[in-house]
Amino acid sequence: MKRVLVTGGSGFLGSWLCEKLLEQGHEVICVDNFYTGAKRNLYHLLDNPKFELIRHDVTFPLYVECDEIYNLACPASPVHYQRDPVQTVKTCVHGAINMLGLAKRLNAKILQASTSEVYGDPFIHPQVEEYWGNVNPIGIRSCYDEGKRCAETLFHCYWMQCGLPIKLIRIFNTYGPGMHPNDGRVVSNFILQALQNQDITIYGDGSQTRSFCYRDDLIDGMMRLMETPDTVTGPINIGNPDEFTILQLAKNVIELTDSQSKVIHMPLPFDDPKQRKPDIGKARKLLDWKPTTPLREGLLKTIDYFDDLLKSNPAFCL
């Protein structure tokens, strides 16, 4: 049994990670400032004696005792991270500095949840970990993209200079139950629009591609990386290599919800990547990992989640 700290633990991925760690018998300290996370994601865990919830902003130092740290704290959707870009950069950079300082004091293994956004609008396809990316440092997405890139640099420096056991994971588009209904991500947007028979909004002609990884598969890959020897530091891509156009996703959602929604097109936002697909060769080799949930199966589970959310409290989805 280990004591594990999860920052951003009330979020979409963090809350599921907390649940999986508890199922393995570990003690879990969940830290979140609830900027985008939702306490309702944790209600079913609050009575567990091995679970502790702390309201805290990682841009300030934290003094706890733990064996491992998963640093997931940061708004991850454009709607949220663009709302306060300065704070987004601070969360990425100051948060990484504070968590790395804590890990160094405790000699704790620490994992950084990085992102496929470090590749920007890539010139190579699929994206391999060795690719340095094509990122606009002063674009509307740069607070997140460059913040995460700097966090990776900090982690690598602590590993080189201090010998700190680090893990870097680059997360590609992930979806599933627990997603924030108003995060502006394409899966949650399409499902909520379809369930309410509203027009489904596609930016551009819909030919841009994404790869969609189901929540359970992503967390499984993350936990496998944490269990690797200290010589395995990453970065390692975790995502689904099956590629779909945004228009294909919209048609799938309309079919699975039996919706009357129509597709409408809006101008493509500036700096929106045209292609995003992971090369997961390293994850297969080093983690014996690959995603196992087909898109339609994952979409059905996510649709059920949002359908229940709409029925129980429509205000969540306004």
> pLDDT tens-digit profile of 211-251?
899 999 999 999 999 999 999 999 999 999 999 999 999 99
**Inside any domain, residue 317:** no
Count Cβ atoms within 10 A of the Cβ of residue 130 and give its class: 0-12 exposed, 13-18 middle, 19 or more buried.
Answer: exposed
If one counts the domains in the chain, the total is 1
- pTM over the 0.85 mark: yes
Residue 23 falls inside a structural domain: yes
Q: Which residue range forms the structural domain that includes residue 283?
A: 3-175+214-240+278-292
- Per-residue confidence band for 267, with pLDDT thresholds at 50, 70 and 90: confident
Does 208 reside within a domain?
Answer: no
The mean predicted confidence, pLDDT, of the chain is: 93
- Beta pairing, strands 243-245 & 209-211: antiparallel
59-68, 75-84, 151-160, 300-309: the lowest-pLDDT one: 75-84
Task: Determine the pLDDT at residue 24.
Answer: 97
Q: Is the dihedral of CA 251, 194, 120, 279 positive or negative?
A: negative
Calpha distance 260→11 (Å, rounded): 31
What is the per-residue pLDDT for 317? 56
Question: pLDDT class for 2, splitting at 50, 70, 90?
Answer: very high
Residues in the chain: 318
pLDDT band at 100 (very low <50, low <70, confident <90, very high): very high
| pLDDT confidence of residue 316 | 60
More confident call, 67 vs 121: 67
Whether 201 maps to a domain, the answer reads: no
Angle 246-257/295-312 helices, nearest 10 degrees? 60
**Residue 95 — pLDDT band, cuts 50, 70, 90?**
very high
What is the three-class DSSP state of 303?
helix
Average pLDDT of 258-271?
84
Is 67 within the bounds of a domain? Answer: yes
Mean pLDDT throughout 133-149? 93
CA geometry: angle at 4 spanning 112 and 59, to 5°? Answer: 50
pLDDT band at 118 (very low <50, low <70, confident <90, very high): very high
Whichever domain contains 61, its CATH number is: 3.40.50.720
For 148-193, write each residue's pLDDT tens digit. Answer: 999 999 999 999 999 999 999 999 999 999 998 888 889 999 999 9
Give the residue numbers annotated as catalytic, written as ranges: 144
What average pLDDT does the segment 256-282 reach? 86
Strands (E), the chain: 3-7, 27-32, 51-55, 68-71, 109-115, 166-171, 174-175, 200-203, 209-211, 213-214, 236-238, 243-245, 263-266
In a domain, 266, yes or no: no
| 41 in any annotated domain | yes
257 lies in a domain? no
| Averaged pLDDT for residues 14-27 | 97
